[in-house]
Amino acid sequence: MRVLLSTYGTRGDVEPLVALAVRLRARGVEVRMCAPPDEEFAGRLAGIGVRLVPVGPPVREMMRGSALPSAAELSRYRAEMLETQFDVFPAALDGCDALVAAGLAQVAARSAAEAAGVRYVYVSYAAVHLPSPHHAPPPRPGWPEPEVDDHAARWELDARNVNAQFAEALNGHRAAIGLPPVDNVRDHVLTDRPWLAADPVLGGWRETPGLDVVQTGAWSLPDERPLPADLVAFLDAGTPPVYVGFGSMRPAQDIGRMTVEAIRAQGHRVLVSRGWADLDLTDDRDDCFAVGEANHQRLFGELAAVVHHGGAGTTSTAARAGTPQLVIPLQLSDNPYWAGRVADLGIGAALDGPPPTADSLDIALKTALAPGTRARARALGSRVRTDGAEVAAGLLAGALG
């Protein structure tokens, strides 16, 4: 049995499929993965014995600036990605029994699976990416935000935007390989039975007509790596610090500095995660420490709070650790959704709106660091599941027989 996994994006897009790959391989399934050609992804996949099929340009190069590429550049990237996928997928699918695709960028995936006669599964890492009257669609970079408040109308406009970008090219390729046209590209990619790799407590799905969503729980692996010795020494040298990190995202230049100052003003030590933004210390005071790659599963339980951008993986890891969160979301993808979930559940605070100020950061930090917030975070943490990847692997292996 052989399965092709496919995604395109940052580490938060790749790691859940890594977890699924490990669980599938434990069941004797051969796995290969289409992913960006960044060195860190190639090394990660080699380490678990999964063949990388590189697709598209390196993601890290695209994320170098503090701003996203322009709308015209994003449109070009999307069009080129569609062409690349139709070039790459047929050979990558050779001998495969199924294709699991994560993210709307996988526009060609279902067509390639149909042409190869293999099972196709679409997976989302957050409920907000799936059409529902219970929430609006997430911000899609490079496309204008609809000027309407009704959720159904916003989802309809979202579908039109996706069609405007992809329908002509997708249907041209489908005709060339003997497949009928599709009239709604987004829903074609999602299918009417998508999988949702998110924790039911943290980001549950509300029943929606027309979608039979299979919620497995978030896909992750236990991480047993020790923390670096110098980080352990910093943790041991005082009270639990507040973590500040934005993962693969690059926030506005002043956000990191302002956050560090706000944390210090409340008498807390600070742990800065460099990430792709290469955040660093603002001075040489001993109440602040900068760290590179580290085991978040082991680290987050040692902290007073986690300040981050609202990525699905970071939100889930902090929630599972029972550590309060302050989410400063970029207006991108599912970041605002996870900010809202953290605030609604009372396990932290969110600054989802105007750019943060010293006053708004001060208020949000006080909320995140309040005893009641910590108590709620700890209570929820004990309910967060860790078996999502195993559940998904079992479902897929069972379906393939």
Tens digits of residue pLDDT in 228-266: 999 999 999 999 999 999 876 667 668 888 999 999 999
Q: Which two tokens stand for residue 63?
A: 């994320």
Query: Which band of pLDDT confidence, cut at 50, 70 and 90, is reported for residue 70?
Result: confident
Q: Which amino acid is at 8?
A: Y
pLDDT digits (tens, 9 = 90+) for 99-146: 999 988 999 999 999 999 999 999 999 999 999 999 999 988 888 877
| Among 22, 311, 255, 372, residue whose Cα is nearest residue 138 | 311
Q: Which amino acid is at 186?
A: R
How many Cβ atoms from other residues are within 10 Å of residue 90's Cβ? 14
Contacts of 100 (CB under 8 A, 6+ apart): 3, 4, 5, 6, 17, 20, 121, 123, 396
Contacts of 371 (CB under 8 A, 6+ apart): none
- The C-alpha atoms of residue 330 and residue 332 are separated, in whole angstroms, by 5
How many Cβ atoms from other residues are within 10 Å of residue 231's Cβ? 20
Residue tagged 């956050």 (tokens) = 259
> 346 vs 199, 315, 351, CA distance in Å?
16, 13, 14
- The C-alpha atoms of residue 270 and residue 235 are separated, in whole angstroms, by 10
Sorted by where each begins, the domain ranges of the chain are 2-220+386-400, 229-381
pTM for the model: 0.95
Q: 229-381: same fold as 2-220+386-400?
A: yes
Q: Does the pLDDT at position 66 exceed 60?
A: no
* In the chain, % of residues over pLDDT 70: 96
pLDDT at 256: 83
| Among 10, 5, 8, 7, residue whose Cα is nearest residue 311 | 10
Query: Which band of pLDDT confidence, cut at 50, 70 and 90, is reported for residue 330?
Result: confident
**Residues facing 54 on adjacent strands:** 35
> 329 vs 15, 35, 145, 309, 352, CA distance in Å?
20, 25, 17, 4, 6
- The C-alpha atoms of residue 203 and residue 126 are separated, in whole angstroms, by 7
pLDDT at 61: 76
pLDDT digits (tens, 9 = 90+) for 278-307: 777 778 899 999 999 899 999 999 999 999
Render the burial of 251-260: b for 16+ CB within 10 Å, e for the rest. Answer: beeebbebbb
What single DSSP character describes residue 333? T
CATH number of the domain at 229-381, please?
3.40.50.2000
- The C-alpha atoms of residue 337 and residue 171 are separated, in whole angstroms, by 32
Q: What average pLDDT score do residues 6-32 get? A: 96
| Among 319, 282, 299, residue whose Cα is nearest residue 227 | 299
Q: Which two tokens stand for residue 264?
A: 């210090």
**Domain covering 2-220+386-400, topology:** Rossmann fold (3.40.50)
* In the chain, % of residues over pLDDT 90: 83
Cβ atoms of 231 and 290 closer than 8 Å: no
Cβ atoms of 130 and 194 closer than 8 Å: yes
Q: Which two tokens stand for residue 44?
A: 């990660």
Q: What average pLDDT score do residues 332-356 get? A: 93
Task: Name all contacts of 357-361 with Cβ < 8 Å and 24+ positions apart.
Answer: 357/258, 358/258, 358/261, 358/262, 361/258, 361/259, 361/262
Contacts of 110 (CB under 8 A, 6+ apart): 101, 120, 122, 188, 189, 191
More confident residue, 55 or 64: 55
**Residues facing 350 on adjacent strands:** 327
pLDDT at 358: 92
